[in-house]
Amino acid sequence: MRRVLILSAMAVLAACSPKAKTGAEDKYAGLEDEILAWHKQIQASDKACLSKSDGTGCQGFEVGCKGERELTAIDKAKGVTAKLVVAMSWEGWDAARSEYRTQSGFSEFTKVDGGWVRSPTGPVNLSTCVSA
């Protein structure tokens, strides 16, 4: 029992220790916050999400895939340092059928000057995150 407690304590300390940032962590810094903002924007504006007065019009939000897109020379000239597509799915309330129905959205996130810009994009294959 004591060994388990010691190992647990060590795991907690390791998780709290500062880690050196890798290039990938820096490259995608702030992306998760932008995905969360997109999620909140869907909840605040999607017709299905607003259809139930108790705020449960949408549920089960999941990021299906994130796929890095190749930077072109034009992107690099504009100062773009990262570009990727994100697919998200959720269940939205269908009042006509009185049931939740699967919905999805696709956005391209572009990092320029340390900040992210989101724009809608066409559907992608969820197993490869490449344009369908």
Portion of the chain with pLDDT greater than 70, in percent = 81
What is the pLDDT confidence band of residue 107, given thresholds at 50, 70 and 90? very high
Q: Which residue has the tokens 């995608």?
A: 28
What pLDDT was estimated at residue 55?
Answer: 79
CB 127 within 8 A of CB 65: yes
Q: Report the distance separating Cα 1 and Cα 4, nearest Å.
A: 5
Q: Report the distance separating Cα 15 and Cα 113, nearest Å.
A: 30
Torsion, Cα of 70, 75, 80, 86 (10° steps) = -40
What pLDDT was estimated at residue 22?
Answer: 53
What is the pLDDT confidence band of residue 24, given thresholds at 50, 70 and 90? low
Q: Report the distance separating Cα 26 and Cα 114, nearest Å.
A: 10
What pLDDT was estimated at residue 44?
Answer: 93
Predicted confidence (pLDDT) per residue in 48-77, tens digit: 999 888 878 999 999 999 999 999 999 999
CB 46 within 8 A of CB 59: no
- Identify the residue with better confidence: 26 or 79: 79
CB 93 within 8 A of CB 51: yes
What is the pLDDT confidence band of residue 15, given thresholds at 50, 70 and 90? very low
Each domain of the chain, given as residue ranges in start order, spans: 23-120
